[in-house]
Amino acid sequence: MKFFSGFANVINAMRTCPKFIICRIQGKCVGGGVGLAAAVDYAIATNKAEIKLSELAVGIGPFVVGPAVERKIGTAAFSALSIDATNWRSTDWAKRKGLFAELHDSIENMDEAVYNLANTLAHSSPVAMAEMKKIFWKGTEHWDELLKERAAISGKLVLSEFSRNAINKFKSKS
Report which residue type is found at 151: A
Determine, yes or no, domain membership for 34: yes
Q: Which DSSP letter does residue 89 get?
A: B
Nearest to 105 by CA among 26, 17, 20, 39: 26
Pair 64, 84: CB distance under 8 Å = no
Determine, yes or no, domain membership for 165: no
Pair 35, 68: CB distance under 8 Å = yes
Determine, yes or no, domain membership for 137: yes
> How many structural domains comprise the chain?
1
pTM: 0.93
Q: Which domain holds residue 28?
A: 2-158
The CATH number for 38's domain is 3.90.226.10
* pLDDT at 163 (0 to 100): 87
Q: pLDDT of 98-134, one tens digit each?
A: 999 999 999 999 999 999 999 999 999 999 999 999 9
Q: pLDDT of 10-35, one tens digit each?
A: 999 999 999 999 999 999 999 999 99
Lay out the sheet containing 42-46: strands in order across. 22-25, 42-46, 102-104
Determine, yes or no, domain membership for 6: yes
Determine, yes or no, domain membership for 167: no
Q: Which DSSP letter does residue 137 get?
A: T
**Angstrom distance (rounded) from CA 107 to CA 128:** 30
Q: Classify burial at 132, counting beta carbons within 10 Å of its beta carbon; exposed 0-12, middle 13-18, buried 19 or more.
A: middle
